[in-house]
């Protein structure tokens, strides 16, 4: 059985959980507590020497990085394809995914924010995070404007949605971002709340989520 | 900077015009320039991101999206190996660079850190993030590297590593002693025309001194 090393609140883990659900793939959930630094534990490093979460174990092969994991799953388990066949629409999916994974998420993860708070000031952490999320969201609204349907790039769920859902979850539920200027993204957030594959992947439903 | 370049598609012998919107020093543009060079061609963007590629009436930005678009539309030479595991390693390496390293040392961020915390902090910040990512890459590629990052042929990982190594070594003067594999790759790239012709200082918008 596939094993997924995941942290309940990790945006990157959340993306992979959605992908596994969409493809109907069963997996064993192995919790790695990032706040406690378990990603640096000898046990985890033995499995994944680079210490990154999420990590997928498929037999004797370990792959980490949410994008690499999803592309691996896409090729090995092609049911419910995560990418459209149309070249342009596929490109839009890659763009949206990378907007999130390179231009937004790295600026709201714990280590970076802590550093900013330390070196610049306690309030700067929030400003830093919000600035980057807003910039990214402005870009996403423009990018998806001509392609969105029921979901980000049409009427079917694709890769862009797997990256957007966790990012929107974080922006709305954790950071309480004002979404008034992002009507398309808000609509997508609501659409995802109706899909079981997405809802079963939400942080609070994971085995390692705190009970209160 | 708008570069309009002519390409010859070898088997079909016709000219394709691609426009690449690029910034000479941008690591992400650098990756795409290597990709375009490798595919034997040199060849706007409402969201305002660089690089952006214009192909006819279609604009695609984000270096990864551009490279995957080129990969599918112009399959030679392939930027990804056919072996699933080796392909995964390429995606991992690319993403370590594009999510864990490059965003944190790009111009805007580095300027912000310098403004708010000072020039020394800026250097520490950049070197810390690059160093962390490089440590991960050394481990990731250890069992896969050959002449290049994931074997004896150039693949996607190399397109991401080359510009990042260029920045680390030339811009941030990172001490590469603990990264022997990456240093060796950096030297290997210096011998490849596709990589060298994509280097920042060779671009039309590079400063003359």
Statement: residue A199 has pLDDT above 90: yes
Q: Is B187 on the interface with A (CB under 8 A)?
A: no
Q: Look at residue B48 in the predicted model and tell me its pLDDT.
A: 67
Q: What is the pTM of this model?
A: 0.89
pLDDT in tens, A48-89: 988 999 999 999 999 999 999 999 999 999 999 999 999 999
**What's the mean pLDDT when you consider all of chain A?**
94
Q: With contacts defined as CB-CB under 8 Å, which chain A residues touch B96?
A: 50, 65
**pLDDT beneath 70: ranges in chain B:** 1-19, 21, 36-48, 209
By the CB < 8 Å criterion, does B1 face chain A? no
Mapping DSSP to helix (H, G, I), strand (E, B) and coil, where does residue B136 land?
Answer: helix
Residue contact A87–B100, C-beta within 8 A: no
Shortest distance between the Cα of B208 and any Cα of chain A, in A, equals: 31
The stretch A19-44 carries a mean pLDDT of: 96
Please answer yes or no on whether A65 and B139 come within 8 Å at the CB atom. no
| Residue A144 Cα, gap to closest chain B Cα (Å) | 10
**Percentage of chain A surpassing pLDDT 70?**
100
- Confirm if A64 and A54 have CB atoms less than 8 A apart: yes
What are the residues facing B20 on neighbouring strands?
B3, B53
Binned at pLDDT 50, 70 and 90, residue A158 comes out as very high
SS3 B148: strand
Task: Quote the pLDDT of residue B75.
Answer: 92
Task: Measure in Å the smallest separation between the Cα of A211 and chain B Cα atoms.
Answer: 31
Strand order in the sheet with A27-31: A27-31, A2-6, A55-58, A61-64
């Amino acid at each position: 059985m596939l094993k997924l090393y995941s942290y309940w609140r990790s945006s990157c883990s959340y993306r992979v959980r959605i992908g596994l659900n969409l493809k109907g793939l069963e997996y064993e959930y192995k919790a790695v507590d990032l706040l406690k630094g378990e990603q640096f534990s000898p046990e985890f490093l033995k499995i994944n020497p680079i210490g990154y979460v999420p990590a997928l174990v498929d037999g004797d092969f370990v792959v980490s990085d949410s994008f690499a994991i999803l592309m691996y799953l896409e090729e090995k388990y092609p049911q419910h394809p995560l990418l459209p066949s149309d070249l342009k629409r596929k490109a839009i999916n890659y763009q949206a995914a990378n907007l999130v994974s390179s231009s937004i998420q790295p600026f709201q993860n714990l280590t970076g924010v802590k550093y900013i708070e330390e070196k610049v000031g306690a309030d700067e952490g929030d400003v830093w995070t919000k600035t980057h999320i807003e910039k990214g969201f402005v870009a996403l609204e423009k990018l998806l404007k001509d392609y969105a349907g029921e979901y980000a790039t049409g009427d079917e769920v694709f890769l862009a949605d797997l990256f957007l859902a966790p990012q929107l979850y974080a922006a709305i539920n954790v950071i309480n971002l004002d979404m008034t200027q992002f009507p398309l993204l808000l609509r997508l957030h609501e659409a995802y709340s109706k899909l079981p594959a997405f809802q079963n992947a939400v942080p609070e439903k994971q085995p390692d989520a705190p009970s209160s």
